[in-house]
Amino acid sequence: MDVKSAFLNGVIEEEAYVRQPPGFKSAKFTDRVFRLRKALLKSFLLKSGFVMGSVDKTLFLLSRGGDTLIVQIYVDDIIFGGSSHALVSSFAEQMSREFEMSLMGLQIKQGPEGTFVHQAKYTRDILKKFAMDNSKPMATPMDIKTMLDEDKEREAVDQREFRGMIGSLLYLTATRPDIQFAVCLCTRYQASPRTSHLQAVKRILRYLKHTPELGLSYSLGSSLSLRGYLDASYAGCRVDRKSTSGTCQFLGTSLVSWSSRKQASVSLSTIESEYIATASCCSQLLWMKATLSDYGLRFGRIPLLVDSTSAISVAKNPVLHSKTKYIDVRFYFLRDHYENGDIDLIHVVTQNQLDDIFTKPLDFSAFACLRGELGFGQGLVKFEDWELKF
């Protein structure tokens, strides 16, 4: 659920106004400004009996009798669940009375075998919104030969429409990590979109036309063990030659976290780009390990699966040499956590590296295989289907 005009940073008594940002001006009220209003969700939840997480300050827990309600907040977005349907319904009604709420678009199917989370309705809505509901379906979100750059020679396209498409697709990545890399690649060209960039975005929409029902499956019988995968595409960006890091983390067989992002600095070798990606995945796993302690979960040495033997060797070798002396010192915390027993670096063959889907375009065979390994499905078993409407 989405809380309108909530920013978690206090209520202001004076009036404040904000100019409409370029590219997001209201077509109906171009001469108006936004009035800034703030609501303090944190205070409201604490007054309602919630306890803030000791590690993650956006996590709130409420215990009633033998039941527990879990609420996670990110700015003005809330996701919650609990062991009692009555407790969950009561919280939803309470929030709706206190704040103006809107539908997020998540759909959840629950049954004896587990939970299936998807955004099929939202997918169809954005296809219709951008007149792509009758487009030709595509089997992958990006052609394997696609190499986007600034393409200044091509014709410029409507910036407002392009950013609207990107914003809609970014929201969809909450349950569709299969489009994460393609969408993040296209976001780099929002400042000056060209026809080639628009074609790439439309290709993603055509892929969604082909797979509107896909979502993430979470098995009820899955173990509660952490593991992470990572990969890097060396010098993958054609504009500044920075590499792309891809990471994903599993809790048992369930994919719970993923990312695809351009590295902050230019790597001078494949080893460096892989090592930086490994450090990034390690950092995320350590944060998850600490956060999950609020749920009463404890973990030992966490496996981190890497397809670069060189990156593993650098992490295990305390002696710097010519190939590693230029790697920024901030990434060497990876060695400390390996030596302290927090993580375990394990080599995985490239064919089994699930993170390839977050770093590069793939052909259909490889893409479909990795998509399946990530836990995608269409919820074909008999589930109770309900939608978050508040």
Name the 3-class secondary structure at 68: strand
11 token code pair: 């209520």
What DSSP string describes 77-96?
EEEEEES-HHHHHHHHHHHH
Spatial distance between the Cα atoms of 251 and 114, rounded to a whole number of angstroms: 14
Question: Do residues 244 and 233 touch, judged by C-beta distance below 8 A?
Answer: yes
Summarize pLDDT for 83-122 with one digit per residue, the tens: 888 998 899 888 888 777 765 668 888 888 888 999 999 9
CB 345 within 8 A of CB 306: yes
Q: H-helix or E-strand containing 366?
A: helix 364-373
Average pLDDT rounded to a whole number, residues 190-218: 96
Q: Using CB atoms within 10 A of its CB, is residue 230 exposed (0-12), middle (13-18) or buried (19+)?
A: buried
Q: At 9, give phi and psi (nearest 5°).
A: -130, 30
C-alpha pair distances (Å), 264 with each of 237, 238, 244, 322, 367: 12, 15, 9, 22, 27
Report CA torsion sign: 150, 154, 160, 166.
Answer: negative
Q: What is the pLDDT of residue 109?
A: 85
| CA 104 vs CA 18, 80, 172, 219, 277: distances in Å | 25, 12, 10, 23, 31
Residues in the chain: 390
How confident is the model over 143-184, as pLDDT tens digits? 999 889 999 999 999 999 999 999 999 999 999 999 999 999
pLDDT at residue number 3: 60
For 42, how many CA atoms within 13 A lie in the half-sphere containing its CB?
A: 13
**pTM assigned to the model:** 0.81
Edge to edge, what strands does the sheet with 226-233 contain?
Answer: 254-262, 244-251, 226-233, 302-306, 343-347
- The burial class, CB within 10 Å (0-12 / 13-18 / 19+), for 154 is middle
pLDDT of residue 31: 83
Q: What is the pLDDT of residues 292-330, one digit of tens each?
A: 988 888 999 999 999 999 889 888 876 655 566 667 777
pLDDT in tens, 259-284: 999 999 899 889 889 999 999 999 99
The better pLDDT of the pair 378, 350 is held by: 350
Instruction: Report pLDDT for 353.
Output: 92
Domains (range + CATH), the chain: 2-104 (no CATH), 120-213 (no CATH), 223-359 (3.30.420.10)
Average of pLDDT values for 193-214?
97
